[in-house]
């Protein structure tokens, strides 16, 4: 096939067709995306305004909400505009930006979830030493490190992906630019890059995932030693819900970035990518925050305060 220069736009084929069932699915996805933005914005606002939430645990939750809001805002508006307008083109610069932002936020969230699991481990297993083992200084270092490592991975993969010459068939069977999908269009040997990308995925996904499993294994071991049934039930419920969200996020990311090339399918990739870019962000505020009694209490106080504010007329 002929090679194209990097100034030719790519065509995103999208997630949906213009049929009634797909229109219904589009409305469902948009509803979920709006709920995700509102839920994460609410959590971010509560943590910012309520001084009782100015702790390392809630600071990490606020960063998770910020990452989820940014990820949804980067992908969904473009996807919706393409579907409604029929104009599905995206420039190489726009494509590179989507790759960079999605990998920055995805990689950053991967490490942030590991930091949050460590925070829970310290809180449950070493509550008296929590101020020392989970100091503000360590919390800020882990947060900055999460953002930095995600950005480094995103910058490297975006630059490397766009450095390849692409074939004239510039259609991307996806709803946003993702490095493994775009590499398939390259008219060059990408084996070295794919091997490097695989190593990056081991570092960015499997290492944090292993740390999370270790932290929750230690938490569960400590929970089993609790004497009260109610405390064990509550701890098991919390751990299982956290691990279900973690499993969805890491499972989808590993499926996209670490699956052998011979097993890849465009339709499967689109559905799985939707899980960690659209559906998981709406679960995070529900699982990590709104099920929390302190957050629910703060939300009720805020709603009562808003209801008691009467309009003043001059």
In angstroms, the CA 305 to CA 46 distance is: 13
What is the per-residue pLDDT for 266?
65
Query: What are the tokens at 195?
Result: 């091997």
Would you kindly state where each structural domain of the chain is located, as residue ranges? 10-308
What is the per-residue pLDDT for 112?
94
Topology, domain 10-308? Rhopdopsin 7-helix transmembrane proteins (1.20.1070)
Query: What are the tokens at 80?
Result: 């919706």
The whole-model pTM stands at: 0.88
Q: Which helix (H) or strand (E) holds 219?
A: helix 207-224
Residue 247 clears pLDDT 70, i.e. is over it: yes
Provide the mean pLDDT of the chain: 85
What is the per-residue pLDDT for 255?
81
pLDDT per residue as tens digits for the range 133-176: 999 999 999 999 999 999 999 999 999 998 888 876 688 888 99
In angstroms, the CA 17 to CA 34 distance is: 21
Is residue 112 within 8 Å of residue 245, measured between CB atoms?
A: no
pLDDT per residue as tens digits for the range 102-122: 999 999 999 999 999 999 899
* C-alpha closest to that of 245 among 204, 291, 207: 291
């Amino acid at each position: 096939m002929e090679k194209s220069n990097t100034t030719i736009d790519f065509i995103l084929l999208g997630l949906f067709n213009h049929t009634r069932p797909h229109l219904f699915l589009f409305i469902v996805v948009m509803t979920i995306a709006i709920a995700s933005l509102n839920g994460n914005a609410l959590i971010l606002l509560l943590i910012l305004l309520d001084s009782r939430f100015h702790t390392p645990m809630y600071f990490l939750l606020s960063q998770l909400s910020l990452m989820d809001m940014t990820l949804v805002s980067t992908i969904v508006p473009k996807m919706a505009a393409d579907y409604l307008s029929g104009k599905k083109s995206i420039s190489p610069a726009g494509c590179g930006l989507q790759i960079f932002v999605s990998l920055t936020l995805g990689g950053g969230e991967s490490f942030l979830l590991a930091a949050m699991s460590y925070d829970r481990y310290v809180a449950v297993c070493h509550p008296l030493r929590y101020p020392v083992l989970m100091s503000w200084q360590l919390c800020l270092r882990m947060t900055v490190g999460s953002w930095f490592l995600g950005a480094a991975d995103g910058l490297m993969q975006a630059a490397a992906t766009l450095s390849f010459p692409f074939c004239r068939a510039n259609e991307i069977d996806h709803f946003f630019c993702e490095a493994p999908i775009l590499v398939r269009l390259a008219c060059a040997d990408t084996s070295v890059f794919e091997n490097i990308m695989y190593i990056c995925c081991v570092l960015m996904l499997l290492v944090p995932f292993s740390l999370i499993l270790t932290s929750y294994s230690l938490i569960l071991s400590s929970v089993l030693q609790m004497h009260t049934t109610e405390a064990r039930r509550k701890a098991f419920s919390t751990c299982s819900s956290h691990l279900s969200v973690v499993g969805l996020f890491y499972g989808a990311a590993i499926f996209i970035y670490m699956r052998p090339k011979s097993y890849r399918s465009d339709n499967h990739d689109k559905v799985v990518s939707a899980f960690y870019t659209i559906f998981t962000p709406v679960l995070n505020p529900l699982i990590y925050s709104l099920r929390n009694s302190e957050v629910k209490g703060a939300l009720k106080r805020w709603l009562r305060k808003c209801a008691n504010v009467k309009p003043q007329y001059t």
